């Protein structure tokens, strides 16, 4: 277990899902300035589905994400700005534009069995002089051996870090441990972990990952993220401090900005309700929650039935159009 953990704050990307991608330039500038003052190493800024995600299928952004990235860079003299890119949604040109605006890290995200589609994007990030991260989403959906194979591909493409991503909040601590341990025994690069709290184990999973050697950890201030949110950054910093693990983050400043700046933005407190619990139980992508709720109202069906069926069909990120098909099918039964 490392005595130093490097944090990435994801409220301005994953949290975009929770507010229907309605961040303004002023909100981004205020949040980034406060995170920068609190000495957060990395801050991810993108549409919830990454660069190029603003669309009818994934949800339209209130403000073009490049303007948000530019605003973030303008007020960060310590924190590095990161962007997420899902091949097939974001493009190489999107990545180049983000780099020109000052983004320093590219997190290239694929489904856990599709690392091969990340090659061009990881290689381009490295050519642009960016830190490159391989982000293996829905990591609960593959056997450990497959996860290792896919992670190795990303490492071979040039990734500086490879993440186990619990997109559905479906993993339990022992499952996180075996995945991180397997990667640590196989890869030379740093290992990261990104958790969701749909089963109320985001913190436990994160600590399990750290115990097994993960050194790059994601958190979200005030749990602002898809589903029931992510590992809560300010709580994580406090817990790690009690464990004698350094993050370099100013806890008081982080607590203050969570309370005074982020909390008022939340449409409602992040909590585990019946729908977000169902996400973790069914193993469904956390960003599907708002889409499923809208479809449930439109077709007068139970959102939980939609999510359970999506899980049964093993629907993954990028297949948001299937939510309507499932809801329509349930309504016709």
- In 3D space, the residue among 131, 75, 135, 145 whose CA is nearest the CA of residue 99 turns out to be 131
Catalytic residue among 17, 47, 121, 140: 17
Q: State phi, psi for 110 to the nearest 5 degrees.
A: -135, 165
Say if residue 196 carries a ligand binding annotation.
yes
Query: How big is the chain by its Cα radius of gyration, in Å?
Result: 18
Residue count of the chain:
333
Q: State phi, psi for 121 to the nearest 5 degrees.
A: -75, -40
Query: Is 17 in the active site?
Result: yes
The DSSP secondary-structure symbol of 297 reads H
- In 3D space, the residue among 309, 277, 281 whose CA is nearest the CA of residue 296 turns out to be 309
Say if residue 13 carries a ligand binding annotation.
yes
Query: What is the Cα–Cα distance from 86 to 147, expressed in whole angstroms?
Result: 18
Could you tell me where the DSSP H helices lie in the chain? 14-18, 25-37, 65-74, 92-101, 119-127, 144-157, 173-186, 202-211, 233-242, 251-257, 274-282, 288-299, 303-312, 321-331
The answer to whether the CB of 87 falls within 8 A of the CB of 122 is no
Say if residue 116 carries a ligand binding annotation.
no
Q: State phi, psi for 318 to the nearest 5 degrees.
A: 100, -10
Q: State phi, psi for 193 to the nearest 5 degrees.
A: -140, 135
Say if residue 42 carries a ligand binding annotation.
no
DSSP 131-186: EEEEEEESGGGS-HHHHHHHHHHHHHHT-SEEEEE-TTS---HHHHHHHHHHHHHH
Query: What is the Cα–Cα distance from 48 to 36, expressed in whole angstroms?
Result: 21
Say if residue 174 carries a ligand binding annotation.
no
What residues are designated binding site for substrate?
A: 13-14, 167, 194, 285
Residues annotated as catalytic are 17
What residues are designated binding site for Mn(2+)?
A: 14, 194, 196
What residues are designated binding site?
A: 13-14, 167, 194, 196, 285
């Amino acid at each position: 277990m490392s005595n130093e953990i490097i944090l990435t704050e994801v409220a301005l990307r994953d949290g975009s899902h929770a507010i229907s991608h309605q961040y303004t330039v002023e909100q981004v500038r205020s949040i980034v300035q406060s995170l920068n003052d609190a000495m957060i190493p990395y801050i991810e800024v993108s549409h919830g589905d990454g660069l190029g995600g603003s669309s009818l299928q994934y949800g339209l952004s209130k403000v073009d994400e490049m303007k948000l990235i530019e605003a973030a860079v303008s007020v960060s003299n310590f924190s590095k700005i990161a962007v997420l890119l899902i091949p097939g949604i974001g493009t190489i040109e999107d990545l180049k534009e983000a780099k020109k605006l000052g983004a320093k890290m590219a997190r290239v995200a694929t489904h856990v069995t599709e690392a091969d589609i990340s090659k061009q994007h990881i290689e381009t990030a490295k050519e642009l002089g960016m830190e490159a991260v391989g982000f293996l989403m829905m990591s609960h959906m593959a056997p450990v051996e497959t996860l290792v194979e896919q992670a190795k591909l990303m490492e071979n493409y040039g990734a500086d870090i490879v993440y186990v991503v619990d997109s559905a909040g479906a993993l339990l601590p022992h499952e996180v441990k075996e995945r991180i341990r397997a990667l640590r025994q196989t890869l030379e690069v740093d290992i990261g972990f990104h958790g969701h709290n749909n089963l109320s184990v985001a913190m436990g999973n994160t600590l399990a990952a750290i115990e097994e050697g993960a050194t790059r950890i994601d958190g979200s201030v005030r749990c602002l993220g898809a589903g029931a949110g992510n590992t809560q950054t300010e709580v994580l910093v406090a817990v790690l401090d009690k464990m004698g693990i350094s993050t370099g983050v100013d806890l008081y400043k982080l607590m203050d900005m969570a309370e005074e700046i982020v909390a008022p933005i939340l449409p409602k407190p992040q909590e585990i309700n019946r729908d977000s619990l169902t996400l973790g139980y069914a193993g469904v992508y956390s960003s599907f929650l708002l889409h499923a709720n809208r479809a449930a109202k439109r077709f007068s069906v139970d959102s939980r039935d939609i999510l359970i069926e999506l899980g049964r069909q093993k629907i993954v990120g990028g297949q948001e159009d299937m939510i309507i098909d499932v809801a329509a099918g349930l309504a016709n039964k």
